[in-house]
Structure 1
């Protein structure tokens, strides 16, 4: 690209807001230290290259962009005289990597005042030593502050999730404990009943028949379908009547277990036909112990499977055993977050998953995306504050992966819609919100993943949309330029 030198006029520099307070001597030194360049339409510098120059626009138009995968996404376009870009962090010297944090081009012939990074740093240190210390403190203080508030937000989310996870784990653990205690009693009863059977006047053929019936009953338990309350009550009455009709005492106590296992009057007829009449009651009570044992073992299996699922969801959510940056299936992250937040979402909120599982995996920081999902889901549930529907949808949007979080709450009022991504801005009562969730989410999506986070809202239909590049080259948080 052709660069044409041009004379430097101190008075022209004085007309720029950046230099209007400088003395005549300082303006003269600027002209001697720097240069004026005329650039034809084309690139000026590229993101990630060593930051060698500080550019101030004198005339023309500049366009700055950020790299997203193989594309450059425009982030600013301006013709305002005096805007600056390039090595404006050179005053920090080697305390931070001196690289261009974006790309800049000129769509039309433009003029710049240009200082080398070394000259820019020297002038700032010589002329504004106090300002340098203030700017260094502001730069590193802001970075530390962002890290601290982000860590605090994560800890607050972790505390909420831990409480919910403890509740979710307690339910199946308590169920497994109760089932284990009951199982111990039933096994003791089976041993007692087996002793009676073994000591009774029963033929080997009778015992073989009972064992066969026991095995078939266990198979029926495994295939039993859950009946509704009314159907189950009707079936229990029918089975109790059958037992009473065959002289079985306390049939009403045996009936619920048989019905829960899917054993009806037809099955009882088969048992009655297979054993002698004097053996029927002992056989049915022994089979009742067998069925109860199978049901209790199923309950223990379901409970422990639930615990295992929650632990796996917690591991997926935390990403503790995985690399911080990897190619991930977004749906796995969404499922783990929804499972972790199930207790907080509560039974009043209907969760609808509309996932497009044909979408490709994307490169991302999964642990941080899970924090974004947590913040957006938490906001949606808080907004509805009671019964409602939370819809989580994935789709392809203009070559990017889109994740939508829709809620049926009252919506975001238009007068505050432009402020919701500001740090510390919150509509929640004092003590219930930090005002950092959406700010941190925006930084994770936009700065770290080169994506977009936007909101559309009306009463009964609020949508937060996260768009992620399919091939984004994720980078650490970059500082914005002023151009």
Structure 2
């Protein structure tokens, strides 16, 4: 930074809109405690440096920018006299002490500024405008507290919706496991009874060994059974039913579907018939049917409990309760857990398409907060498609976009109208009916992606093709813990990106 001090003229200060109502004594104090400096083209201050000065442009051109990942994003460019930047919230007292510049300022031509040290600016504000300072403090901290409370409310609403969906998803496999367990108990009791009848019969030891061998191979076959189409299953049931009827087996219509589901055929039944005589064939078939049913029921119980375990693991992955807040994370795991947690809300009429680039590396991130972003974007996409008729396709895509990781959520809803596209990331803006949205979902997502992860969040939309695109850096960057005084521009586009 190259600058030269210049004389301060209080009459010139009076021409600036900030100072036009000040008295001569007040202007004299400004000239006494402040200074006028001429800056050569280049940086005036840099984001992250201690906020030591309040700058008022007197002549020249300034450019304000914010650091987003590896890029400097230009916020504004102006030559208007009297515009100000820097430590303009120094009057907030203890909160402003130790503050840093939340953006960078540079000049594109030799430019003059009136410069006040932050401490002096704070003292002057409190001496001259004590009531205004109290009002400004109330406005600033009140807005900040309101934002925090409503942010928390937004998270609680999302948690409530998530809990309801998770409860519904857990109830289905749990109920299936309970039902299958009760049925299994009946089948095992029937198997014991049938085994007793076989043991009391006149079977040769070799015949019993053959039956036990067939039973073992039957159990193995059930585990290896491959699902068949409904049409093939119907044909096989007819074939097995005919075999059972031809051999005098009662209730063939009940037994045949079990054998088809287990992957058994008439050749297998011929082996059973060859191992026993005609009088004991029906008892042997029913005993083996119990074996098939118990194996199928145990498979159902295993599937149900596995589903419960998967949901619990997804909930743990989604909440990140057992993980470090900042870590290298696989975005695909985060996306899968979020999709699973929201599967109840997505429903069966919306098709989910995953276009993942599995070669992408883990990225440094706050995974719990990224899951909140995914939740908000998926929720918006589903709501848009529900408003458009309740059917559609949700496409989740990941790719490498130059030096960033791209996560894109596409939906086939009616799109974002051009007249509101530039407002959708604004706090409290919502198109949902009263009581159905706080207008903070996209604002929170934008802050998490841009402020905390130094990424970007854009939207590209035409009817039938809306894409929210999250770009995240591949390498770690220091996150912003505080709300910025100047935020990067929230970008919207009018057409979908070619891919």
Q: TM-score normalised to the size of structure 1?
A: 0.96
SS at match of 1:419: coil
- Residue 482 to residue 418, structure 1, CA distance change in 2 (3 Å): closer
Residues 64, 103 of structure 1: 8 Å contact kept: yes
Residues 69, 455 of structure 2: 8 Å contact kept: no
Deviation at 1:477, TM superposition (A): 3.4
- Residue 76 to residue 401, structure 1, CA distance change in 2 (3 Å): farther
List aligned pairs for 1:43-442, cutoff 5 A.
43-69=43-69, 71-96=71-96, 97-385=98-386, 386-442=390-446
Whole-angstrom distance in 2 between the partners of 1:335 and 1:215: 38
Deviation at 1:205, TM superposition (A): 1.6
Aligned to 1:7: 7
Whole-angstrom distance in 2 between the partners of 1:467 and 1:305: 34
1:174-232 deviation per Cα after TM superposition (whole angstroms, max 9, x unaligned)? 11111000000011111111112222222222221111111110111011111222221
Deviation at 1:277, TM superposition (A): 3.2
Q: TM-score normalised to the size of structure 2?
A: 0.93
SS at match of 2:421: helix
Task: Compare 467-476 and 31-40 and name the one that shifted more.
Answer: 467-476
1:399-451 deviation per Cα after TM superposition (whole angstroms, max 9, x unaligned)? 22221111111111222222222222222222222222122222222222222
Residues 410, 460 of structure 1: 8 Å contact kept: yes
Gaps of 5+ in 1: none
- Residue 79 to residue 401, structure 1, CA distance change in 2 (3 Å): farther
Aligned to 2:465: 461
Deviation at 1:69, TM superposition (A): 4.5
SS at match of 1:192: helix
Residues 66, 486 of structure 2: 8 Å contact kept: no
SS at match of 1:139: helix
Task: Compare 426-435 and 379-388 and name the one that shifted more.
Answer: 426-435
Residues 385, 412 of structure 2: 8 Å contact kept: yes
Whole-angstrom distance in 2 between the partners of 1:364 and 1:356: 18
Residues 5, 36 of structure 2: 8 Å contact kept: yes
Deviation at 1:139, TM superposition (A): 1.8
SS at match of 1:317: helix
Residues 179, 300 of structure 1: 8 Å contact kept: yes
1:320-366 deviation per Cα after TM superposition (whole angstroms, max 9, x unaligned)? 12222222111111111111110001100001111112222222222
Residues 46, 104 of structure 1: 8 Å contact kept: yes
SS at match of 1:98: coil
SS at match of 2:345: helix
